[in-house]
Structures are given as structure tokens and as C-alpha cells.
Structure 1
């Protein structure tokens, strides 16, 4: 039942991606390389807790990066103001 709720600020419950698909980064990542928000990435490998990607645009074009799951949190509007936390890859499929 909870997966049907769509609080603002949270990505969709289910992320469907395949190797080779193009995705857009939803949050800036601060790791050894600085990939900015809304960068386009191509999926090279998918594991349970990480994605191996290559950057397709910007100054870091062609750079490989590993993305891990990130906790997203938001409050849902109701009487008790329930808070939601989803641990998900910070990407969405590029159309």
C-alpha cells in the first residue's frame, strides 16, 4: 500500500532500468568526481547496491562513475504528517 503513495520530493517507488539505457541524475553527487544534477549517464553495469555508469555530457563526458543508493526523505500530507524515506539510486530514465 505504501508504494502507491507519491509524496513530493521522492522518486517513484519502482525504477526500471537496463544496461545501456540513458538516465538523468536527480541529485548532485560529491565523490572523487563532481557530477552535477541533471547530467545524462549511460548504465554500464547494474548490481544490487550500485550502478556503474559513464557520463554522457558536460566537462566529465566519458568519465566512469559508480552510483550507490541514496536515502530520499519527504513528508506526506495527512493528519499525522508521516515521513517517508526511500533508499534508491538517484536517477530516472531519460526520455
Structure 2
């Protein structure tokens, strides 16, 4: 217990240092070089070796050190994530990381349909390949205790809002049993089901389609906006 408290205190101190460091950069009080650039301290960046696969594994090992030993620790799971700028990269990292989790996996596929497409110009295989902003991917792969993030406002009064983070505790054919792990509704058990999801107004597709799927995705990796 003493060792665990020491680790948490070290994490808290590290988080405070990093937050202060970012504030100093944003406030213009951090020293810069002659070109106006800020040198990132060695202890907070991962060297790049030009081997994408190797570098990704190094990043995962650093951010999620001892993953299998800590996957049941809610604080461990919800206080770290790998951030990216693109949904396809996020999905790739999440799929790679869920394979590292212990235990059997459950896979859910979505159901895509176009709106007003009588000639079937956009077959389901094509729609399945799309991952617009705000929609879950075609394939969702989960394991027990994996972290997920909600993509829609379902029941804000009970904590089910866009961006709510949860942990999976059980699977059914059309429902997922999960627990809210952050905020004032933490520890509340909920059941999530598939719902029809539409594209946001920001997506510039020449057609409209609906995706029936669980309004969630893995949150081991997330987009910068979603974080």
C-alpha cells in the first residue's frame, strides 16, 4: 500500500510539473532559442527511429507500462491515453492495444444504410470502410475491463454524455454492461445498446447514411479533440 501511494504521489507531481510547463509555454514565459522554438525536455518525449512499428510499440510501452498488471485499476486506465490527430490512426492504435489485453474478445459489426439511394451507388462494403468524425468504426472489438468513451449524449442527467469514459464489465448480443469511471456519476453501472447514428453537419459527403452501432469506441487512443 505504501509503495502504491508513493507511485501515485510521483504521478501527481509529474502531472503538476507538466501542466505548469504547458502553461509557461502558452503564456510566453518559457525560454526560447534564437529561432523562437521551445526545446522539449528529454524526459517527456519519445525518440523517433524511423521504424513506425517499433516506435509505436515504444510509445505504448511508455504510456501503458505494465498494462496487463494494471488493467483492473480504474485510475490507471482512465488517467492515460495516446492522442492522435486522425480517426484512422486512433482506430489502428486501439485495435493493436486491445490485442494486448488478456482474456477473450467480443466483436460487434455495425449496420450501414444510405438515405435515398435507390440505385445502390454506395454499397454497404464502401460505407463500412468510412469512419467519419463522431461515428464509431465498422468493427468494435472489446475485452473485459477495457476503457471506452461515449460518442453521443444519451442521458446527461445520469452521466451518459458525449465524452463520458467508461469501463466494460460484460457483453450481450445487443447490449454492453459498463461502469462510468469519471465524474460525479463514477461507479454507476449502465447498459448501452445499439442506436442509429447520423453524420454530423461538418462532414462533407455527397450522400447521407446511417450507422446502427454502439455509440462508443475504445479510449486507449483518442483524437486530440475528443480528449
2:155 maps to 1:30:
yes
Provide closer, same or farther for how the CA distance between residues 31 and 76 of structure 1 changes in structure 2, counting only shifts above 3 A: same
Structure 2 spans left out of the alignment, 5+ residues: 1-124, 221-227
CA distance in 1, matches of 2:181, 2:159: 14
Distance in 2 of aligned mates of 1:83 and 1:16: 26
Q: 1:50 to 1:31 in 2, by over 3 A?
A: farther
Matched, 1:93 2:218: yes
Structure 1: distance between partners of 2:156 and 2:193: 11
Change (3 A) 1:50 1:8: same
Q: Name the TM-score, length of structure 1 as normaliser.
A: 0.82
Larger radius of gyration: 2
What secondary structure does 2:139 align onto? coil
Distance in 2 of aligned mates of 1:62 and 1:6: 30
When the two chains are superposed, the root-mean-square deviation of aligned CA atoms in Å is: 2.0
Query: For 1:88 and 1:6, how far apart are their aligned partners in 2?
Result: 12
How far does residue 33 in structure 1 lie from its aligned partner after superposition? 2.5
Alignment: residue pair count? 92
Following TM superposition, by how much is the alpha carbon of 1:91 offset from its aligned partner in structure 2, in angstroms? 0.8
Q: Which moved more, 1:8-17 or 1:81-90?
A: 8-17
More strand as a share of residues: 1
Q: Which has the higher contact order (CA 8 A, sep 6+)?
A: 1
Aligned to 1:4: 129
| Cα distance in 1 between the residues matched to 2:176 and 2:163 | 16
